[in-house]
Structure 1
Amino acid sequence: MRFGPQIALWPRAGVDPIRICSRGFHRDASLGNHSWDAENSMPLAKLAHRASSAVALAIATVPLALAPQPAAAQEAAPQVPETASGRIPVAEFVKQSNMSNARISPDGKHLAYLTGQNGREVLVMLDLDNLSRPPRLIIASEEAREAGDRTMTGFRWIGNKHVVMTVISRENLNGNLADFRRLVAYDIDSGKLVQQAWRDAGGDAGQILYINHDTGKYLLQRDSVANSTERWGFPEVVEVDVNDGSFKMVQRTNPVVRGWAADGSGVVRAGFNSSGDTGKLRMLYRSDDSGNFKTVYNEADKTFTATVPIPRMFIPGTDEAYVLSRDEGFDRVYRVNMNTLELGKPIFEVEGYDVQGIITNEDGTKVVGYRTFDGTLHNTYIDPTLKAVQEALEEVFGKGEAILVDYTEDNRKFIVYGGGVEREGGYYIFDTKSGSLQLLNWTRSALKDAPLNPVRAEWYTASDGTRIQAVVTYPRHRLGQKNLPVVVMPHGGPFGAFSATNSVEPWNQPLAEQGYVVIQPNYRGSGGYGRQFEEMGREPGGYGKRMQDDLNDILTYFGQQGAIDPNRACIMGWSYGGYAAARGAQRDANVWKCAVAGAGVYDMPLMNRWDARNLGRFSSGFQATSEDPEGISSARNTDGPWAPILIVTAKRDARIPMEQAETLVSNLQKSGKVEGKDFRYIVQEQGTHNLPYDDVHIQWIEEAYDWLQKHNPAYIPGDGDQPPKLIKFD
């Protein structure tokens, strides 16, 4: 469940944010399952065959040919793999991947990425000029849980010789847990770790604002305790030399600024502050490094649905920036005058949907594309080179099955994710000069390019006439069959979040593989569909009521279409989805055969008090539960009939206190509900809100499937078919 307005207080122009992975910090000698042999470094025979049709493609700026690999092209037609006809176990879909968060060095010689090892993730580096050489371990990545834990939460390249990692240290301060954030650079030549501007650093010294890859200098926003601790949380900006971690002052603290933004030339141009109690976001701006900052915005959005005009990229040589704004109902891209905040005409939009963001070049001086959503998340490129590469790769992999993950500064080498729509995928390196396309690694070794269960974005009509989009996953072994069992899976959030056909949430595939139709609705209040649709979820009678009706209405609509049997339906979710699952089990026991609730909120008054203490009075209103908090709380309504419910809680969940699940379970028992029959309760001792390890993630999906099978089997005698043979993996 996501609480509080999602506002980036210190956006960066042109520098991708260090990805937050919420993992840990230690060294380990082994590297897990990697195969860098000749066979694995060549595309599949089918891929090579499809590539031959794209051989003579040309780009205005870069000559491009996707040349098939001769050795692969001469292979005999592959036999049908067992994964095509057999049934893949649920656990195989949630294991740590072989490769994720891949980042190529600016010169294209090395690749840093996360890989699974013994159920955890480790950060490794691969020599792209010598793929036969095993990847080199840099650091292990886990989840900080207790005082004393260390966590590597993200990484990126600075220049060609340093991978800079964000490290978090969790400490006990006067009985409360606090995270200290620092940067550490890994020197790929010496193998040494170099502390980055640690001297006099305070609680947070980990936000990069600007990078000059040529010089190895970058701007770092950090708290400082050099003179006192009175301005804790009011950061300064220093210029850091990645080679030795030395630094010099660029921007001193400001008593009303808690975050800074720099332009594509390394000039600090804006400052931000927000109040969890008043909700006001204050923005300061200046035209250049010689000017003074002045306040240009200081307002609160009491609806939590407006878009704050935060600059996404400063336009060089002007007082303008690109912003996203819902000024006309949907998030569109505008040019804005930063002195007056006057919007120009929209320069990019997607009819009926919110634009998700802009994509800039590495320098942050040019827009090269946009992030869009229409039920599926896309990168829409306007840069001719990137657009041509994308189109050429889609000729090889299929429409929507080629994602440009990262690329070198000269656009010669691209890291590409191929697959993900019709089949499981893998990571490839594509050389635009030679036309070579090489497989680096499958996402998961066991599955390789196993066929996926088809996913579609479809519309249904709620009982009050509202049109709602849902992501529907159909079981591939039962295509064309009618009246199938269904699992309705509401997403977390709830507001501003949404499900997409290519969402990273992995539970639709394992359950569809077992024979269920899985429907993930973007119920009213979900993001992506404009301000009015999001406001509908915040209206009186929305939270826990009309939003809950949207889930029930799925059964009516898709039942009438014949796709599902409304009498064979369960509801399942995590975070807000866990709340909705428990609310469904409590409010609509006659609708759902069972419920599976993970990391949910079950007592709203209790949670609202927690939020007010930890997020501030204003931010605690983000959930829009003030109208009837007791009435929409499943834990306060445990008498009466309930659908059988599986309750899973993470003991180290820092977002949803474990007392939520404890309260629900205690009240169920007081109401005479029997554990093992009416409910099952699982406490994940090592779990957090993010399901960080294989063991806790596998436990979640396997327990969920067992509960579904017990109360709503995927296959019953009247179906007329039998489950395919379950495949066993080593």
Structure 2
Amino acid sequence: MTKFKKLVLLASSAALVSVSPVLATKAGANTEGENSPIIVTGAGRVETAVFGKRPFMRSPRLSPDGSKIAVMMSRDGVDNLGFIDLNKPGSAPSFFVRAEEQRDVGDRTVVAWRWVGNRTIVFTMTSREAVFGDRFNMSRLAAYDIETGKTTPLGWTNAGAGAANILHIDDEKERILVQRDTVKDRQYEGNPEVIDIDVRTGDFKNVMRSNVEVDDWIVDGKGVIRAAVGGDRDSGKQRLMYRSNDKEVLKTVSNEADPTFTGTQIVPEIFLDEPDMAYATSNKDGHRKVYKINVKTMQVVGDVVYGIKGYDVGGLRANEDGNNLAGVDYTSTRERQRFFDGRLMEIQKVLEERFGKGNTQIVSTNDGDTRIVAFVGKPNAPGGFYLFDTESGDLKLLGWYHGILKDMELNPTDSIRYKASDGLEIEAVVTYPRHRANRKNLPVVVMPHGGPFGVRDQEEFGPFPWHQAMAELGYVVIQPNYRGSGGYGKEFVKEGRKPNGYGMRMQDDLNDVLTWFGQQGLIDPKRACIMGWSYGGYATARGAQRDADKWRCAIAGAGVYDFPMMKAFDTRQFGAFGANFQATTDDLVSISSARNTNGPWSPILIVAGLRDARIPIEQSRTLVSRLKASGKKEGVDFRYIEQPQGTHNLPYEDVHIQWLKEAEDWLAKFNPAYIESDGDKPLPVAVKVAAN
């Protein structure tokens, strides 16, 4: 038995029984809600506003030597990026940059961070900028030296819109390879180059010039550019170019279009030391699986490396050297991990023995995997991050994901398969109101997810726990993974992409929730509302317009309501082929709720962010204008809320809480959670955010 296994076995018993906090009392007080004052009055429900609070801690990342952790933490509802020095037990985090999402032109927000060496944190910022009269999303990199406190821009000179795609990190030399767009002689270069940057000084040199055929470069574990991908915006063809080593030139090995938009093209992800061999994922057999491929011939070598029955494999995890497969991520009913690396397998086993199978995710490791940051949480509890020393067996709480709710178990969730009216089996996530004794004939909120294609809901608390907020009010919440949703194989996606899918058959899947779950006795189909954001906002408005007899009310956020208008916008953004990634029907007018405002509608709440970079504000304004023109009365038939500081991602506590509170009021007005015949009554608020 190895030393590691002896220590792990020790850790799985007595050493993991008690868990101590990592942060000092002051920082620990933040986990108790120091910057988010709460009032707890005893037994009862959690106030809706609590579910709109920012996560307290996000994405902790260990330095290569395991001595420090870079982490995003919320202070007074504002995200701040900082680091924790593990060599100074009990010390408070050191913050160095606020990370608010941009609201105005020129504002920047921090969206990602990682270590380069043991003293430099490189972070990615995005912003919304006005360029030549149009607005563009911009991305930039900066390096923070934790010893000097100096922040250095990385590769900003002559940078175009996208200048933050890190392809490779050399921790020893403290250098990174970055793919970036450029501006030369006041002309925007649409194809990216690759530069090598010293993160300590900011000095950089070009290692690969832009190529008109290349949209993305792909490197191996040594930082050698081995492949490139390019696409034609109008034909939809994706070209893959490859070379065996840095002495060769890139040659085309595939060039095909994917009219199904299901990601059928194979792209290498992890290059092996074997000549021309790589690991990649493919859905060639229906569900996405892991294969070993010869990139030069684009032939699959051997049997399937890994696959999940009934579900797609997600991302691949490379080993430290970047030359082999360490594990895969996938989602069944929950997010899961499968490791092939023996050490990580043992670590995962120990953590699951302590916290329960499926309740842990390894989110960061140091070199050698001697220190691990793991996320631990149940589907109905926010959970937290833990630091595990695999050599001593020491396990410590790093911080809760949600500073108010901590590990509080809330409304239980389950995954249930139901039959659509055409016989297709669909999986839905069901959240049950914990305060209601009987699960029978309850009011329901159907909550379609965004996307729609390639995206899905799962059993989790999540960063946007709207299902928990509505269930806490007394509703059953059902999140159907309607046809077209991701994770169930390409044929399931194609079902949604059929000409009768978008706004029609996909909409029927939502209606079928009421029929099927009504027949099971769980819900009262006559006490149903629909609520969603982005595509979910579209589906909500479409339901209010198309199926007014089924929905007592509708709550739509950031939706597309006029498809001819949206396709014109997307054509400018993505090209003639890419503009079709949403609706595939030729009849865009009939599926547009804003083009069909005459006739009966369910009472609809419409919420939109003025600074939404994905869905133009004109979509919501057009819907409201046409509702008025059709004789609908504001305050009766509809309510419109335009959030001046809102974006597509609802990142701020104020706009997020407003969305949830307005939804609560709209539901109470048109579909109360409790009525006299229910035989029970709502509990008082027991956990709430204190007034300022």
What range is the shorter-chain TM-score in? over 0.9
- The residue correspondences of 1:104-119 to structure 2 (distance < 5 A) are 104-119=62-77
Give 1:267 shift.
Answer: 0.6
Within the candidate set 580, 583, 601, 2:542 is matched to 583
Give CA deviations for 1:670-718 in whole Å, capped at 9, x if unaligned: 1111111111100000000000100000000111111111111111111
Q: Give how far 1:478 is off.
A: 2.0
Say if 1:338 and 1:60 are closer, same or farther in 2 by CA, change over 3 A. farther
Q: State the Cα distance separating 1:57 from its structure 2 match.
A: 12
C-alpha distance 205-60 of structure 1, shift in aligned 2 (>3 A):
farther
Of all paired residues, the percent bearing the same amino acid is 50
Q: CA deviation at 1:362?
A: 3.4
Is the counterpart of residue 629 in structure 1 residue 588 in structure 2? yes
1:457 aligns with one of 412, 415, 426: 415
Alignment of 1:286-435 (within 5 A): 286-344=243-301, 345-435=303-393
Q: CA 1:518/1:298 → structure 2, altered by over 3 Å: closer, same or farther?
A: same
Q: Which residue of 1 aligns with 2:483?
A: 524
Aligned-residue offset at 1:94:
2.4
Distance apart, 1:422 and its partner CA:
4.4
Shift, 1:60, TM fit: 8.0
**CA distances 1:145-176 after superposition (whole Å, capped 9, x unpaired):** 33222232221111111000113344322211
Preserved contact between residue 444 and residue 529 of structure 2 (Cα < 8 Å):
yes
| Structure 1 residues 40-55: aligned runs within 5 Å | none
> What SS class does the counterpart of residue 64 from structure 2 fall into?
coil
2:33 corresponds to: none
Q: Is the 8 A contact 1:315 1:322 kept in 2?
A: yes
Asked if 1:262 is matched to 2:262, the reply is no
1:210 to 168, 175, 186: 168
Q: What is the SS of the residue equivalent to 2:417?
A: strand
Report the CA distance shift for 1:540/1:383 in structure 2 as closer, same or farther (over 3 A).
same
Q: Does 1:445 align with 2:391?
A: no
Unaligned runs of 5+ in 2: 22-38
Alignment partner of 1:710 is 2:656: no
Q: Structure 1 residue 299: deviation in Å?
A: 1.3
Aligned-residue offset at 1:309 = 0.6
What is the CA-CA distance between 1:294 and the residue it aligns to?
0.4
Q: Which has the higher strand share?
A: 2
Amino acid at match of 2:150: K
Normalising to structure 1: TM-score of the pair? 0.88
Counterparts of 2:71 and 2:235, CA distance in 1: 41
Deviations 1:338-386 (A, max 9, x none): 1111123321111111111211223322211111222222111122221
- Report if aligned partners of 1:231, 1:255 keep a CA contact under 8 Å in 2: no
Partner residue in 1 for 2:526: 567
Aligned alpha-carbon RMSD (Å): 2.2
The answer to whether the Cα contact below 8 Å between 2:20 and 2:396 also exists between their aligned partners in 1 is no
Displacement of 1:307 after TM fit?
Answer: 2.2
Counterpart of 1:178 in structure 2 is 136
Q: Is the 2:7–2:393 Cα contact (8 Å) retained in structure 1?
A: no
Alignment counterpart, residue 719 of structure 1, candidates 638, 658, 678: 678
Q: Select 1:537's aligned residue among 496, 505, 511.
A: 496
8 Å CA contact 1:60, 1:385 repeated in 2: no
Contact 2:4/2:390, CA 8 A, preserved across alignment: no
Q: Decide whether the 8 Å contact of 1:83 with 1:450 is kept in 2.
A: no
Cα deviation for residue 613 of structure 1 reads 1.9
What displacement does 1:225 show? 4.6
Whichever residue aligns with residue 262 of structure 2, its letter is T
Greater Cα shift, 213-222 or 674-683: 213-222
Matching residue of 1:4:
none
1:659 to 618, 632, 635: 618
CA distance in 2, matches of 1:332, 1:644: 44
Equivalent pairs counted in the alignment come to 667
Q: Describe the superposition over 1:67-116 as per-residue Cα deviations: whole angstroms up to 9, x where unpaired.
A: 1466989xxxxxxx969942001121221111001111111111111111
Query: Given that residues 590 and 643 in structure 1 are in contact (C-alpha distance below 8 angstroms), is that contact kept between their aligned partners in structure 2?
Result: yes
Show the counterpart of 2:124: 166
How much has 1:531 moved relative to structure 2? 1.2
Could you say if the C-alpha distance between residues 537 and 60 of structure 1 is closer, same or farther in structure 2, counting changes exceeding 3 Å? Answer: farther
- Which deviates more, 621-630 or 405-414? 621-630
AA aligned to 1:245 is G
Q: 1:175 to 1:201 in 2, by over 3 A?
A: closer
Residue of 598, 604, 626 corresponding to 2:563: 604
Q: Counterparts in 2 of 1:75-94, with a 5 A limit?
A: 85-94=43-52
- What amino acid sits opposite 2:100 in the alignment? E
Structure 1 pair 479–267 and aligned structure 2 pair: CA distance change class (3 A): farther
Please say if residues 55 and 463 of structure 2, whose CA atoms lie closer than 8 Å, have aligned partners that are also in contact: no
Q: Any conservation in 2 of the 1:415–1:427 contact (CA below 8 Å)?
A: yes
When residues 540 and 134 of structure 1 are mapped into structure 2, their CA distance, relative to the original with a 3 A threshold, is: same
- Separation in 1, partners of 2:138, 2:406: 39
1:646-677: per-residue Cα shift (whole Å, max 9, x none)?
00011011111111111111111111111111
Query: Is 1:485 the equivalent of 2:443?
Result: yes
Report the Cα offset of residue 321 of structure 1.
Answer: 1.2
Which whole-Å CA distance do the structure 2 matches of 1:83 and 1:452 have between them?
Answer: 17
Partner amino acid for 1:483? N
Residue 24 of structure 2 corresponds to which residue in structure 1? none
The answer to whether the 8 A contact 1:400-1:421 is kept is no
Matched, 1:125 2:83: yes
Structure 1 gap ranges (5+): 1-55, 74-80
Partner of 2:31: none
Aligned to 2:5: 59
Alignment of 1:552-563 (within 5 A): 552-563=511-522
Partners of 2:8 and 2:347 within 8 A in 1? no
Q: 1:601 to 1:348 in 2, by over 3 A?
A: same
User: Are positions 1:692 and 2:651 aligned together?
Assistant: yes
Tell me which moved more, 288-297 or 504-513.
Answer: 504-513
3-state secondary structure, aligned to 2:313: coil
Letter of the 1:533 partner, please give it: F
Q: Compared with structure 1, are the counterparts of its residues 492 and 84 closer, same or farther at alpha carbon in structure 2 (3 Å cutoff)?
A: farther
Change (3 A) 1:255 1:420: same
Answer whether contact 2:112 2:123 (CA < 8 A) is retained. Answer: yes
Q: Is the 8 A contact 2:213 2:231 kept in 1?
A: no
SS at match of 1:707: helix
Aligned amino acid, residue 520 of structure 1:
Q
Q: Report if the CA contact (8 A) 1:595-1:645 is conserved.
A: yes
Whether the 8 Å CA contact 1:264–1:316 is kept in 2: the answer is no
CA pair 93-245 structure 1, distance change in 2 beyond 3 A? same
- Are residue 145 (structure 1) and residue 99 (structure 2) matched? no
Asked if the contact 1:421–1:452 (Cα under 8 Å) also holds between the matched residues in 2, the reply is no
Take 2:210 and 2:504, find their aligned partners in 1: how far apart are those partners? 46
SS at match of 2:246: coil
* In structure 2, distance between residues paired with 1:71 and 1:460: 41
**2:576 pairs with 1:617:** yes
Aligned 8 A contact 2:61 2:69 in 1 = yes
Q: Does 1:678 align with 2:624?
A: no
Write the distance in 1 (CA, Å) between the matches of 2:332 and 2:89.
38
Task: Tell me the SS of whatever aligns to 1:235.
Answer: strand
Q: 1:389 & 1:569 partners in 2: Cα distance?
A: 45
Distance between the aligned counterparts of 2:318 and 2:181, measured in 1? 28
Q: Residue 32 of structure 1 aligns with which residue?
A: none
Hey, what's the Cα distance between the residues in 1 that align with 2:183 and 2:617? 35
Alignment partners' CA distance in 2, 1:284 and 1:71: 51
Question: Per the alignment, do residues 677 and 162 of structure 1 end up closer, same or farther by CA in structure 2, a change over 3 Å counting?
Answer: same
Contact kept in structure 2, 1:453 and 1:476, CA below 8 Å: yes
Alignment-derived partner of residue 154 in structure 1 = 112
